[in-house]
Structure 1
Amino acid sequence: MTAALVSIHDVMPETLARTAGLLDWLEAAGVRPVTLLVVPGRGWTPAQIDTLRRWQGRGHRLAGHGWAHYVAERRGLYHRLHGALLSRNVAEHLALDGPAIAGLMARNAAWFDDHGLGRPSLYVPPAWALGPIGRARLAETPFEWVETLSGVTETATGRCRRLPLVGFEADTAVRALGAGALNRAMAGCARHLCRRRPLRVAIHPDDLALRLAGQLRRIVDGVGPARCYDGVMQSAR
C-alpha cells in the first residue's frame, strides 16, 4: 500500500454537497484523515460552517486555500500562460504583489479563528501558485506550512520537502492525456523511489465525474490509511 497525503480542494459553499460525497467515499475506502482545503471568502452560512466543524469531529483536517478562488483579470505574461495551461481563473495570488499575498493569507487564517474552527497549520494557494512573495515575508504569515506543486515548505525556515503529487481535474482530452501520464509517473515514484515520501493525492469536487475518475479510483484503492501534513512535516525536521 502507498502512504498518502489525501486532500480535497476547493471546499466552499457551492461544492459542499460534492465534498460530503467524496468524504463518504474515502472513509468507506478506509482513507482518513483527509485535509479539506477551505476557501473562506464565498458567503458561508452558519449551518455550512457547522458542517466543517462536524468533519473536524470525524478526524479530518482543515487548511487555508486562497480567499475568493477567482481572479477577474490575469496580470502579466506568466499569469496568462499559467491560466491557459493550468489554472484558468483561480490563481488569485498571481494577480497580487508580496504584501497583498501576505495580507490575503492573514485574512484567510483570521477567518478560521473568527468562526471557532481553529487556525490551520497548512496553507495551499489556489492552483498551487504561491506568487511573488519573498521568504522573509512568507515567514511572517500565520501558517507553518505552504504547499506548492513541488512540495511542502516550512514557512519559518524556507525548507521545502519535495513530495510526489497526483491530480485528476481533467475536463478535456488533452488535459486528461497529460495529467494521466504525469500521475502514473508520480505514483510509480511514490511506490519505488520515494518510499519515505508519501504521495500527495489532490482531489477536486468534480473529479469522480471527469475523465480521470477511473485512475483516481485505482490510486485510492492502492493507498493505506492517510497521513496528515503536520505529522509528515514534523517528522522531516
Structure 2
Amino acid sequence: MNASQSGSGGPGAPFVVSVHDVAPWSFEQSRHWLHDLDERGVPATLLLVPGSWRGARLPDAPELVEWLHRARGRGHELALHGYVHQGVPGGPLTRRWVNAVVSRGCAEFCALDEEAARRRLESGLAALASVGIVPEGFTPPGWLASPGAVAALRRLGLEYTTSHLGVHDLRTGARHGMVALSNRPGGLGERAGARLMRAAARRWAGHGRPFRIALHPADLARPGLRACALEAIDTALAEGARPCTYAGLVRSLRG
C-alpha cells in the first residue's frame, strides 16, 4: 500500500496518539497524559528518550522503568525517540533553520551521516535493552531524520520511522501519509494551532482520513491545550475513528 492509498481512509480509519519526550524529568507529565488516555481506552505510543537529557538517564529511573513495563502490558507501545533529544551542528541550511525555528533545537538526527546516526541509535537501543525494552520503531526528535539516519534505522532492523507528514515502513519501503497534529505552547501560533487541532480532528475523523495527535509535556503547563487535545481525541472517537499504536498501524497496513 502506498502513501496515497493509506491516506484515502474509510469508515473507522486509524488515528495514532503519541506521547512525546518520555524521560525521567517528564515522568509526571507522561503519567498524566497516559491516565487521560487510559480513561478513554486509547492505546498510545510512548516516545522514549533514553540518554541523559535534563537529568538522569532513563535506565537509572527504576520507578519510570516499572511504569513503562506496566503501560506496555496494557497495550501501549514503547518506541525510541532519539538518544539525548538535542540538535547537532551541520547539515543543509534549510535543515539547520528548521531545527532552530520549527523544532526548537531538538532535531538530533536531522543532519547526521549514517555512521554517526548508527552510533547514537545503538546507544539508545542498548540503554533501553538494559531495562528490558526493545522498541519496534523510531520517531526522530522534531520529526526530522537525515537520509543517513533512515539508512541506519533500516540496517539496525527497526520496523518504522515517522515524519511530520507520515509513517515510513522500513521493511517494505511504503510511506503512509498521516499528518501529525500538535500544539505549540508558548509560541506565536499557540491559539491557531489549538483551533487547527480541534477542527482537523473533527473533519478528518468524520471523513475517514487517518491522522495523528502528538502530546508533549509542555502542553500540560497550559490547561487550555490539554483540553484542546483531549477534545480532539474525544471527537475522533465519537466519529468512529480507530485508535492504534504506530506498530499496530504499520502491521495492519502490510495486509
- TM-score past 0.5 threshold: yes
Aligned residue number for residue 163 of structure 1 = 178
Query: Would the aligned equivalents of 1:2 and 1:190 in 2 still touch at CA under 8 Å?
Result: no
Does 2:228 align with 1:215? yes
Could you tell me how far apart the structure 2 residues matched to 1:107 and 1:66 are? 10
Could you tell me how far apart the structure 1 residues matched to 2:148 and 2:95 are? 15
Does 2:41 align with 1:31? yes
Aligned residue number for residue 215 of structure 2 = 203
Aligned amino acid, residue 229 of structure 2 = L
Aligned amino acid, residue 19 of structure 1 = S
Query: Would the aligned equivalents of 1:125 and 1:147 in 2 still touch at CA under 8 Å?
Result: yes
Q: Judge which range, 154-163 or 67-76, deviates more.
A: 67-76
Secondary structure at the counterpart of residue 147 of structure 2? coil
Q: Judge which range, 32-41 or 131-140, deviates more.
A: 131-140
Query: Would the aligned equivalents of 1:165 and 1:186 in 2 still touch at CA under 8 Å?
Result: no
For 1:145-164, list aligned pairs within 5 A: 145-164=160-179
RMSD over equivalenced CA pairs, Å: 2.5
Query: Would the aligned equivalents of 1:39 and 1:64 in 2 still touch at CA under 8 Å?
Result: yes
1:88 aligned residue (77, 87, 104): 104
Q: Return closer, same or farther for 1:136/1:94 CA change in 2, 3 Å cut-off.
A: closer
Aligned residue number for residue 129 of structure 1 = 144
Report Cα offsets for 1:136-176 as digits up to 9, x if no partner. 5442123101011121111123221111321113312x221
Deviation, structure 1 residue 49: 1.6
Secondary structure at the counterpart of residue 93 of structure 2? helix
Q: Judge which range, 45-54 or 145-154, deviates more.
A: 45-54
Does 2:74 align with 1:63? no
Report Cα offsets for 1:27-58 as digits up to 9, x if no partner. 22x13211110000022323332222222223
Task: Give 5+ residue unaligned stretches, structure 2.
Answer: 1-11
Q: Judge which range, 136-145 or 55-64, deviates more.
A: 136-145
For 1:66-77, list aligned pairs within 5 A: 66-71=82-87, 73=89, 76-77=92-93
Query: Would the aligned equivalents of 2:112 and 2:149 in 1 still touch at CA under 8 Å?
Result: no
Q: Return closer, same or farther for 1:158/1:106 CA change in 2, 3 Å cut-off.
A: farther
Could you tell me how far apart the structure 1 residues matched to 2:149 and 2:107 are? 18
Query: Would the aligned equivalents of 2:182 and 2:213 in 1 still touch at CA under 8 Å?
Result: yes
Could you tell me how far apart the structure 2 residues matched to 1:22 and 1:133 are? 33
Aligned residue number for residue 231 of structure 1 = 248
Query: Would the aligned equivalents of 2:138 and 2:161 in 1 still touch at CA under 8 Å?
Result: yes
Could you tell me how far apart the structure 1 residues matched to 2:49 and 2:107 are? 13
Report Cα offsets for 1:106-150 as digits up to 9, x if no partner. 322222222112x11111000111123276544212310101112
Q: Return closer, same or farther for 1:135/1:60 CA change in 2, 3 Å cut-off.
A: closer
Deviation, structure 1 residue 74: 6.1
Query: Would the aligned equivalents of 1:121 and 1:143 in 2 still touch at CA under 8 Å?
Result: yes
Number of residue pairs aligned between Structure 1 and Structure 2: 232
Query: Would the aligned equivalents of 2:23 and 2:48 in 1 still touch at CA under 8 Å?
Result: yes
Does 2:62 align with 1:49? no
Aligned residue number for residue 190 of structure 2 = 176
Could you tell me how far apart the structure 2 residues matched to 1:150 and 1:66 are? 18
Q: Return closer, same or farther for 1:217/1:32 CA change in 2, 3 Å cut-off.
A: closer
Deviation, structure 1 residue 189: 5.2
Query: Would the aligned equivalents of 1:164 and 1:189 in 2 still touch at CA under 8 Å?
Result: no
